[in-house]
Structure 1
Amino acid sequence: MNDPQHSGHGRARSRIGIITGSGPEAGLDLWAKVLRANRQLMGADYGGDLDAPEVVVFSVPELGLSMELERNDAQVWQVLRRTAERMAPHVDHYGIACNTLNHYADRLAALGLPARLVSMGEVARDYLAEHGITQVALLGARPVMDLGPWSAYRTLPQHASVEVPADPDELHAIIYEVKRRGGAQPDIVARFTQVLAGLASDVALLACTELPLIPAAVARPSTVDVTDLLALALARRSLEPRVASQ
Structure 2
Amino acid sequence: MTKLQASGPRPSIGIVAGSGPEAGLDLWAKVLVRNQALFGSDFRGDLDAPRVAILSEPSLGLSMDLSENEGVVWESLKKTIAIMAVQADAYAIACNTLNWYAPRIEALNLPGEFVSFQNALEQWIQRSDVKRIALLGAAPVTSLGPWSAYQKLKDRVEVETPADSLALHQLILDVKRLGSRDATLRPRFVELVEGLSCEHVILACTELPLISDIVTSKNLVDVTELVASELVDRSIGRGTRLPPNGVHERSVA
User: One fold, TM greater than 0.5?
Assistant: yes
1:3 aligned partner: none
TM-score w.r.t. the length of structure 1 is: 0.92
Question: Letter of the aligned partner of 1:41 in structure 2?
Answer: L
Distance 1:216 1:31 in 2: 18
1:239 alignment partner, SS class: helix
Deviation, structure 1 residue 154 = 1.2
Cα-to-partner distance string for 1:175-195 (whole Å, 9 max, x where unaligned): 011111123433322211111
2:158 aligned partner: 161
Asked if residue 53 in structure 1 is aligned to residue 50 in structure 2, the reply is yes
2:228 aligned partner: 231
Which of 7, 10, 14 is 1:10 aligned to?
A: 7
Question: Letter of the aligned partner of 2:199 in structure 1?
Answer: D
Distance 2:216 2:182 in 1: 20
Deviation, structure 1 residue 44 = 2.9
In structure 1, runs of 5+ residues without a counterpart are: 1-6
Structure with the larger helix share: 1
Distance 2:43 2:5 in 1: 8
Question: Letter of the aligned partner of 1:129 in structure 2?
Answer: Q
Deviation, structure 1 residue 218 = 3.3
Please tell me whether the aligned partners of residues 8 and 51 of structure 1 are also in contact (alpha carbons under 8 angstroms): no
Percentage of pairs with the same residue: 48
Asked if residue 90 in structure 1 is aligned to residue 59 in structure 2, the reply is no
CA gap 1:128/1:241 in 2 versus in 1, 3 angstroms? closer
1:10 alignment partner, SS class: coil
Distance 1:219 1:169 in 2: 22
2:71 aligned partner: 74
Please tell me whether the aligned partners of residues 8 and 239 of structure 1 are also in contact (alpha carbons under 8 angstroms): no
* Count of equivalent residues: 236
Distance 2:170 2:235 in 1: 36
Q: Which moved more, 1:31-40 or 1:187-196?
A: 187-196
TM-score w.r.t. the length of structure 2 is: 0.89
1:165 alignment partner, SS class: coil
Asked if residue 195 in structure 1 is aligned to residue 181 in structure 2, the reply is no
Cα-to-partner distance string for 1:16-60 (whole Å, 9 max, x where unaligned): 100000112111110111011011112233211111111110000
Which of 96, 101, 109 is 2:98 aligned to?
A: 101
